[in-house]
Every structure is written in structure tokens, then in C-alpha cells.
Amino acid sequence: MARSALMNVMTQAATKAGRSLTRDFGEVQNLQVSMKGPADFVSNADRKAEEIVYQELARARPEWGFLMEERGAVEGRDPQHRWIVDPLDGTTNFLHGIPVFAVSIALERDGQIVAAVVFNPVQDELYTAEKGGGAFLNDRRIRVAARTKLHEAVLATGMPFMGHGDQARFLFEMRRITGETAGIRRMGAASLDLAYTAAGRFDGFWERELQPWDLAAGSLLVREAGGFTTATDGSRFEFLQGDIACGNELIHRALLGELKHADNAFRAGRQPAAVPAPEAS
């Protein structure tokens, strides 16, 4: 597949940062780690990867701005274009030696995401999409899964953790959706959850209270793979607002229905029924 000049710039930045992360991942126990907040860490590897992405993109398009996880907002001379970057999505996985993390880069043009790259360096999987051009995994076209029944579907989500997210609401959602699906997975990297949904590995994904850099690239992958994206309440998806539900048309619709049931129960103050403990083997 012939890539556009823009996509070549983005993939070069992502793969170069990914190679740096892979080297550091091999020495994860020796990394210096500082606290950003409860259970939310940032490492030297994270900062180094972000600097690589920043330098690569700024050299190629010097007038464009940035929104980056560590560096924050960087104003550009061109107000129409902005790079949205997560140099290490899955930092907690990375620091615990779990090989599930990614570099995520999106291009925002006039408020819309028009190009996306998500690179999983451990598996050497490069997900790419440009608006109107489809979604690809290592240059092979990908599509969302074709399953139509929720009870056959495997969904992904993110879980609230210490100091982050509404744990009470999440318990209602998990109880409702666990009982209606073939399984729930929690990867710990939203960009990969969305990429896996685009590739048909997951049938759908939902999560609340995410950051723009968590959602920007992956959401375009899903749409370009034929999927549907909305907010968790079914309203228009906006990557700056932080929550998403997605999947193919029928799974997405069914997922929204289950989320609505869970939200109604949550607001009514009913306690979620306990999930049965697994039997000992």
C-alpha cells in the first residue's frame, strides 16, 4: 500500500518512538519513575518517546501545534492543524513489565481527526487510517467484526482505579454487560482497545473519563474500519469530551442499550447484584 506523505511522517515518528520504548522496556526495572498522581506514573521512557515524536513531527510540519500527554498544549502558527500525541499509552503496563502499550498519534484539522497512527512496538503492529481512506494494520485493510448478537461478543473496557473514575457506576455497568456478553477484556491501553476493535478482535469498546490523546487516533481507526462511535449516552462522539462507546452498527446499538439500563439502575440507587465467584478447579 502506498502511503501519503503525511502518513509517512506519522509512521516514522511512531516507529522511531516505539523502538526507543522497546529498548527501555527491556530494562524496565532500572527506569527512574516519578509520581504524577495516585497510581498514575510517568517514566523517563515516556518523556524520551514524547521528545522523539515531537522532534520528528515538528521538523516535518514546523507550523503545526501539539496536544501531548506530558508536554501539554503547544500552540502552532497554523491554527487549523494540531498533532495529538500519547507517546506511551499503557504506562502502568510498561512499568510492570506487561507488554501491552502503544504510541498513538492523531492529526486534528479544523476540529476533526483526519489521520491516525497507533503503533504496538512489542508486536510490531502498525495501525493507520486517514479520513475517507479506510483503516489498515501493517498495510492490510481491516474491518470491524461482523458479529450481530451481544451474547456472542467480546467487549473491551477500561476500569476505574485509585483516584480516577466513578467506581460505583462502573460496577453497575460491569454487572449488566458481563451477564449479556461472551466476555469482557481490560487491556490497560485505550488506543489498543480501539485498534483491536477496528481490526475485529474486539466486538466493541466503552470507557469514560479518557483524555483526548487516549481517543483521538483510535476513534478514527474504528470509524474508518466501518464502526460506529458515540458517547456512552448515545450522543455525538467528541474526542475532547472523554467517553466513547463503539462497535459495528448492531453491537454498538446493543451496547448503548445495556449502558442505559445500567445507568438507570445506578441513578435509581439500586445495588448491583454480586457477580458469582468462580468455582475452585
279 or 124: which leads in pLDDT = 124
| 273 occurs within a structural domain | no
The pLDDT score that the predictor gives to residue 271 is: 56
- 47 and 125 share one domain: yes
Query: Is 86 annotated as belonging to a binding site?
Result: yes
pTM over 0.85: yes
| Tens-digit pLDDT profile for residues 13-65 | 999 999 999 999 888 766 667 666 544 566 788 999 999 999 999 999 999 99
- Of 44-48, 162-166, 234-238, where does the model show the most confidence? 234-238
Confidence grade of residue 278 (pLDDT, cut at 50, 70, 90)? very low
- Residue 40 annotated in ligand binding: no
Report pLDDT for 95. Answer: 86
Examine the pLDDT at 2 and tell me if it is beyond 90.
no
pLDDT of residue 159: 86
Q: What is the mean pLDDT of residues 226-242?
A: 96
| pLDDT over 90 (residue 178) | yes
Identify the domain containing residue 256 by its residue range: 150-268
- Residue 165 scores a pLDDT above 70: no
Would you say 279 is a known binding-site residue?
no
Q: The domain spanning residue 126 has which CATH number?
A: 3.30.540.10
Whether the CB-CB separation of 111 and 117 falls below 8 Å is answered with no
Q: Is residue 278 part of a domain?
A: no
CATH code at position 239: 3.40.190.80
Asked if 62 and 114 sit in the same domain, the reply is yes
- Report the C-alpha dihedral over residues 249, 254, 256, 261, rounded to 10 degrees: 170
pLDDT (mean) for 81-109: 95
24 in Cβ contact with 42 (< 8 Å) = no
Q: In this predicted structure, what is the pLDDT of residue 37?
A: 55
Q: What is the pLDDT of residue 105?
A: 98
Any binding-site annotation on 250?
A: no
Report if residue 279 sits inside a domain.
no
% of the chain residues with pLDDT over 70: 88
Residue 273 pLDDT more than 60? no
pLDDT at 39: 46
Same domain, 77 and 170: no
- C-alpha cell recorded at residue 248: 459495528
Is 78 annotated in a binding site? The answer is no
- Are residues 199 and 115 located together in one domain of the fold? no
Arithmetic mean of pLDDT, 90-98? 90
Residue 275 lies in a domain: no
Q: Are residues 127 and 170 in the same domain?
A: no
205, part of any domain: yes
Q: What is the pLDDT of residue 193?
A: 98
Per the CB < 8 A criterion, the answer to whether 115 and 82 are in contact is no
